[in-house]
Structure 1
Amino acid sequence: MSDCCLRGFQWDAQPAGHDMKVAGRDCYVTGSNPDIAIIILHDLFGWTFKNTRILADQYAEEVGATVYIPDLFGGEVIPAHVVLDQSLWASINLPSFLRRNSKAVRGPEIVECATLLRARHSRIGVIGFCYGGWGAFRLGSRENALAACIVAAHPTQLEKAEIENVGVPVQVLAPQRDPMFTEELKAFSNQVIPTLGVAYDYQYFPGVEHGFAVRGSPEIEGERRAMERAKNAAVLWFRQWLK
């Protein structure tokens, strides 16, 4: 991961949901559908980041789902104001943070949380942003089969083996400039996923960079339009596969 995972803007709206415990961990919850749920696997700014909660509210309203943002970092939160101040990025020891929150550490917890929510709801969709992208593929793998469909927006730490192992309908939201979801991984996804027998929707976003779907600026027309298109694409994907 690189500094692109810290870059972005905070949005002005106020979240409408509430905090609760799910599988023993903190979780933001919005919406009230007992049958359909969406799990958001957050980026480096964690489960409290306002932008992610605002998106959760939008998914809950437009899909008609209960939406959960579980804490994937064991209570540790990168301060949201860092996103606005590039001079503070050096204060974050990103390699140490990622070691504490590695796939080996958080992967089993993500599966545990999804298993509990799958027992509560008939169908579950998953969307992962940045750090959470690999987790979406984990929950949509042929072995786990916990999600009815998944979305990955500018995923990081995603490996070719995880792409090859996806077993549910998958949508990818891919910006033009992304040092994490590289051109090689984009090409690999587009070559391999269509051979796996699952529905596949690859959405390409020219002119924007890693993090745009959850940290783009509404003041920049190109970023605002890309964010809107990404939100709408995910909503339509969830409506198609969860209803």
Structure 2
Amino acid sequence: MGDCCLKGFQWEGEPKGKESVLANRSCYVTGSKSDAGIMVIHDLFGWTLRNIRVLADHYADEVGATVYVPDFFGGEVLPADILKKDPSGWKELNLPAFIARNTKAIRTPEILECARILRSRYKYTGAIGFCFGGWAVFRLGARDNGERLVDCISTAHPTWLTKEEIKNVGVPVQILAPEHDGEFTPELKAFANSTIPTLGVAYDYQYFPGLEHVFAVRGDLNKPAEREGLERAKNVAVFWFRQWLR
């Protein structure tokens, strides 16, 4: 996880959901009256970023689901105003220390716990992860979980994703992949595209030429190509969940 995970833009608009608690951790919840639940696993800027909540609202409205955005950073939130700064200003963040407090080993049990609760509440469950959350949805959809925690997963520009996690996926999986991504590298893209079709699960690979890491959650709405890309990313994720959460 590097500087590419810090760039991007904060969107306008007010979230429509409410703050609640899931598995003893803070959580944004939006939507209701459905037999489908979706967990959104946030990126580096956490569960409070306006963008992630606005996206959750879209999923709730357009899929017809209750959507949860739990806090998986233990109450710590990176300042959203860093998005407005020149990259030289990012040095004020101690990113290595932040990452050390939020490793896979630390956060995986929390993510699994939240998924188990949602599985107990809803007939159908899915998960989508952005950047930091990308590896996590593969853990939720892993063959060796011993339990079917989700019916499908989606990820946009995943970070920390390994070949072993890709090989172990056991549920329908969607990947939203920008052309330029220092985390989901060309090698990992090629590995996913050669491996997942052999696993016996439905696979949807969506490629976004010209776009960069974090486009799907922090793209610049004032740039036509980025706006078109993030809208397409939202639409294909909505279609994916409509297809599998029924």
TM range (shorter): over 0.9
Q: Give the C-alpha shift of residue 83 in structure 1.
A: 1.4
Structure 1 unmatched runs, 5+: none
Q: After TM superposition, give the deviation of residue 88 of structure 1 in Å.
A: 2.4
SS in 1 for 2:61: helix
Structure 1 residue 35, shift from structure 2 partner: 1.1
Q: 2:111: which partner in 1?
A: 110
Amino acid at match of 1:219: N
Counterpart code for 2:214: G
Note if 1:203 corresponds to 2:172: no
Equivalent residue for 2:241?
238
Task: Specify the alignment match of 1:160 in structure 2.
Answer: 163
1:51-66 matches, cutoff 5 A: 51-66=51-66
1: CA distance between counterparts of 2:25 and 2:65?
Answer: 21
**Deviation string for 1:24-81 (max 9, x for gaps)?**
0000000003410110000000000000000000000000000000001000000111
Q: TM-score, normalization: structure 2?
A: 0.98
1:213 aligns with 2:191: no
Matched, 1:45 2:48: no
Cα distance in 1 for residues equivalent to 2:99 and 2:160: 10
- The alignment partner of 1:143 has SS state of helix
SS of match in other structure, 2:143: coil
Q: 3-state SS of the aligned residue for 1:7?
A: coil
Q: Distance in 1 between matches of 2:83 and 2:177?
A: 21
- The residue aligned with 1:74 is 74
Report runs of 4+ in structure 1 exceeding 4 Å deviation: none
Which ranges in structure 2 are unaligned for 5 or more consecutive residues?
A: none
- Residue 133 of structure 2 is aligned to residue 169 of structure 1: no
Q: Answer whether contact 2:177 2:208 (CA < 8 A) is retained.
A: yes
Percent pairwise identity: 63
Deviation at 1:226, TM superposition (A): 0.2
The match for 2:140 is 139
Which residue matches 1:224?
Answer: 227
Q: What does residue range 120-131 of structure 1 map to in structure 2 within 5 Å?
A: 120-131=121-132
Provide the aligned length of Structure 1 versus Structure 2.
Answer: 243
* Cα distance in 2 between the residues matched to 1:219 and 1:34: 34
Q: Relative to structure 2, which stretch is displaced further, 88-97 or 157-166?
A: 88-97
* 2:25 is equivalent to residue 25 of structure 1: yes
RMSD: 0.7
Range with greater deviation from structure 2 (121-130 or 82-91): 82-91
Q: Secondary structure at the match of 1:40?
A: strand
The AA in structure 1 aligned to 2:91 is A
TM-score (norm 1): 0.99
Indicate conservation of the 8 Å contact 2:34/2:64, yes or no: no
